[in-house]
Amino acid sequence: MPQSELKIAYKWILKAALLGDLEAIELLTGYDDDQFQAMGVSDPAKWLLESKSLPVPQAVKGMDVSESFRWLQRAADLGHPNAMYVMGLCHSEGYLVPQSDWFAFENFLLAAQRGWPEAQFKLGRCYATGTGTTINYLRAVVWYKMASKKGDEDARFALEWSFAKVSNFTLREWWNTKIGRVQEKQIPAAKLYQAKAEQGIAVAQNNLAGCYFLGLGVKTDFAQAARWCRSAAYQGQVEAQNNYGLCLVHGHGVQQDYAEAFDWFLMSAKRGFSEAEGNVGSCYDRGRGVTQDLKLAAEWYGRAAKQGLATAQNNLGNCYEHGDGVTKDLEQAVTWYRRAAVQGLTVAHCNLASCYEEGKGVPKDINKAITEYCLAVAQGHFEAEYKVWQLSNGQIVFKK
């Protein structure tokens, strides 16, 4: 954290002084406003800027961290981008101020708008992860791009990954998609990832695996995808551990092995990765790679569902609807189906529609059922289209 910076009070006092703060100018020069006027100096800040190096006053040398922080805050309030950026770091990590992602975001935004590249990178990450603001991958790309133009290597690396987000898929989702190339603009990420991956950087290895899986900048190669994913997984990269488990489940580039896949899912899930938690639940649910245990399946679905994973929320709803591993509770089923549907999961719309259609856990309401089925139809669900036609007595027909 910026503790070492904060101890250098002179740095922040000087920045405040150059921005016209009279208290800072007096502290550095020993002259107050009246003395400057007597000297014929109308702009003390400009005079200070043009002066030869001044000795650091003894009072400044003895300042502690809290006093340095006060001057950091003063410089930030006066609009100095570096000070704003460091204030953002303080809020982000709860150093000398209460931890607040929102205040961190605000400070990064102000510094980024003033052209500070480190702040532009941090702001891009805030938009990419939803830290202190709503996730917005397009804005993440914009700020990463601005930072990368100023030579920020981390921003260059993150930029290509964020382009993938804007293209409507994520590197977490590719393992769950059907085999095939994404018909989007090809992203020149592979070379960047390759260089980082060969240096042993786990996140780059995982992302390079995604490029090989989707054919982004390289020829589709499931064996290479599995190889790089495995390398990252062995380094403990939590997302790669889950992804390599998926390679083993589907036999993508490796021999299909449910038992080994379960081990990787469990390793990732124990570290709190929601998608791995959902996959552990699925293994217990289906008895893949482990003895079937519906109670444990519901437990792992629940962990992932509470973290907001839509597929796990839908699966937990199924558990409550049918009493699989939990006490049957139709109202709970509806609650979890609704949470998954709000995130746009097609099957959750259908399950919620079925509850409204049959009055399971909610009062029977055909109109609401039709609405939910229509939302599923909008996502290409053929059976939902038939249900809409059936429930509307043929009044609603979708044009081809």
For the stretch 2-50, pLDDT in tens is: 545 544 555 556 666 655 666 666 655 566 667 667 777 776 656 655 5
What tokens does 27 get? 């502290």
As a whole number, the mean pLDDT across the chain is 77
The answer to pTM > 0.85 is no
Contact assessment for residue 135 and residue 103, using Cβ atoms and an 8 Å cutoff: no
C-beta contacts of 375-382 below 8 A and 24+ residues apart: 375/341, 375/349, 376/346, 376/347, 376/349, 376/350, 379/344, 379/346, 379/349, 380/346, 381/346, 381/349, 381/350
Q: What is d(CA 209, CA 235) in angstroms, rounded to the nearest whole number? A: 14
pLDDT above 80: residue 315 = yes
For the stretch 184-198, pLDDT in tens is: 334 456 777 788 889
Contact assessment for residue 116 and residue 84, using Cβ atoms and an 8 Å cutoff: yes
Contact assessment for residue 355 and residue 382, using Cβ atoms and an 8 Å cutoff: no
The two counts, helices (H) then strands (E), for the chain are 24, 0
